[in-house]
Amino acid sequence: MSQFRWPGGAGAVMPAAALGDLLALLWREGFQPVGPTVQDGYLGLDVLHTPADLPQGWTTEADAGWFRLQRSDRAAFFGFNLGQESWKKFLFPPRLPVVTAARQDGLISFAAPARPPTAYALIGVRACELAALAVLDRTLRQGAFRDPDYEARRQAALVVAVNCTESDAACFCASLGTGPAVRGGYDLALTELTGADGHFFLIQAGSAQGERLMAALPVQPVREEQWQQAQAGIAAAARRQTRSLATADLPGLLYERPEHPHWEEVAARCLSCGSCALVCPTCFCFCLEDETDLENKTATRWRLWDVCHNLDHSYIHGGWLRPSRKARYRQWLTHKLAAWLDQFGCLGCTGCGRCLVWCPVAIDLTAELPALRETAPKE
Ligand code: SF4
Ligand code: SF4
């Protein structure tokens, strides 16, 4: 991996103990900090009141169909990789009211739910997830059909990124150029370093807001060896990645092989559970559901996450467009790696690896795509 330089240089050094100052500052500034937490053995994303809420001393191991959260001998606050949840749960919530209706005196009135957005401070966003936020921005904020709720939440959010100095076996961001180093799209970026030299963060501002926050923190100039240690850690994380995704022949490969026999082979394993799409930080499909009270006086229309693996997601005018598992998995992968390029000018995958980790039968797009490429198609 080539050395990277943050915009503006190497930044500064902040003692690990000052992480509490950063969280307190964000609360005072009106943000709600959210980030990784461990509760009941589950690595999720939740509200952070103090650094004690972070999974300090925990680490992860992940591979296709396999995930372990375990204790580490390091005191790092961010010494793990990704959990199941992504930041889309804050910016594109799984369940959102979109309109309410009320009946009174024979008249029905409609109202959009008033919701000043919570100003989230997203703490610990990894490079692949920053790339995923950029994909969601293109999809929901910059495209022909904009989502005002996403726009308001994204506009209000502050991003504190964390460079990865570890990789799980499921990670393949290096092959897509989306990680493990963050390269923009953040307000503050941290690189956590532990060792004989102490426990500290390299901290860098990526926006005017980040600069202002950084000026209020106890930071010192970076020494060259600290900068080198950070670079070496990030480079080692890239080297440890064993998975990759070659994309040079996409989208043609997928468009040209809709009847390739490998689709049937995947369909024979796929459970159509939708886990891969639910955990994906860029998948944005939804359905609408109406709910009324028992007296039929009020009703709410909810937007709920949905996935293209659900049979009913393609139900239209009395039939299903994708009645088979083969058709639905093919739709998911072809959209991610081909049609997304046509629609939004980018891939729908940033190499986070969540879909293969949380697939109960270990279906792995980094293995399925080469199989489609290398086996001679029937057609
Ligand atoms: S398709 Fe899989 S690896 Fe790619 S961004 Fe989505 S969850 Fe991550
Ligand atoms: S590929 Fe795996 S996670 Fe996705 S729908 Fe099929 S079984 Fe579920």
Per-residue pLDDT tens digits for 306-354? 999 999 999 998 899 999 999 999 999 999 999 999 999 999 999 999 9
Q: How many residues in total does the chain contain?
A: 379
Which one of 66, 279, 309 would you pick to mutate in the ligand 2 pocket, going by the greatest count of ligand atoms within 8 A of its CB?
Answer: 309
| pTM of the complete model | 0.94
Token pair 């086996």 is found at 375
102: burial class by Cβ within 10 Å (0-12, 13-18, 19+)? middle
Per-residue model confidence (pLDDT) at position 4: 43
Q: Smallest Cα–Cα separation from 191: which of 161, 216, 217?
A: 161
- Pairing of the two strands 120-125 and 32-39: parallel
The answer to whether 250 touches 262, Cβ cutoff 8 Å, is no
> What tokens were used for 65?
């169909």
Residue 236: band (very low, low, confident or very high) from pLDDT cuts 50, 70, 90: very high
Ligand 2 geometric centre to CA of 364 (Å) = 9
Which residue lies with its CA nearest to atom 4 of ligand 1? 349
Higher pLDDT: 196 or 193? It is 193
> What tokens were used for 13?
């050094």
Q: What are phi and psi of 188, to 5 degrees?
A: -130, 145
Ligand 2 atom index nearest CA of 355: 3
Per-residue model confidence (pLDDT) at position 195: 86
Average pLDDT over residues 226-242: 95
Is 6's pLDDT higher than 60? no
Per-residue model confidence (pLDDT) at position 1: 37
Q: How many CB atoms lie within 10 A of CB 81?
A: 26
Higher pLDDT: 179 or 377? It is 179
Ligand 2 geometric centre to CA of 245 (Å) = 19
Per-residue model confidence (pLDDT) at position 376: 59
64: burial class by Cβ within 10 Å (0-12, 13-18, 19+)? buried
SS3 content of the chain, % helix, strand, coil (to 5): 35, 25, 40
Ligand 2 atom index nearest CA of 307: 5
Per-residue model confidence (pLDDT) at position 204: 95
Is 2's pLDDT higher than 90? no
Write down the domain spans for the chain: 12-239, 252-374
For residues 123 and 27, what is the distance between their CA atoms, to the nearest angstrom?
A: 12
Average pLDDT over residues 159-173: 97
Side chain identity at 368, as an amino acid letter?
A: E
Candidate from 34-38, 110-114, 132-136, 303-307 with smallest mean pLDDT: 110-114
> What tokens were used for 43?
């690595």
Per-residue model confidence (pLDDT) at position 3: 43
C-beta of 324 in contact with ligand 2 (< 6 A)? no
Q: Smallest Cα–Cα separation from 162: which of 81, 89, 83?
A: 81
Q: pLDDT per residue over 250-293, tens digit each?
A: 999 999 999 999 999 999 999 999 999 999 999 999 999 999 99
Per-residue model confidence (pLDDT) at position 7: 45
Is 146's pLDDT higher than 50? yes
For residues 275 and 288, what is the distance between their CA atoms, to the nearest angstrom?
A: 19
For residues 15 and 100, what is the distance between their CA atoms, to the nearest angstrom?
A: 49
- Letter string b/e over residues 218-249, b meaning 16 or more CB atoms within 10 A of that residue's CB: ebeebeeebbebbbebbbebbebbebebebee
Residue 117: band (very low, low, confident or very high) from pLDDT cuts 50, 70, 90: confident
Q: pLDDT per residue over 12-45, tens digit each?
A: 999 999 999 999 999 999 999 999 999 998 999 9
Side chain identity at 79, as an amino acid letter?
A: G
For residues 326 and 252, what is the distance between their CA atoms, to the nearest angstrom?
A: 19
Q: Which residues surround ligand 1 with Cβ inside 6 Å? A: 279-282, 336, 349-355
Share the mean pLDDT of the chain. Answer: 94
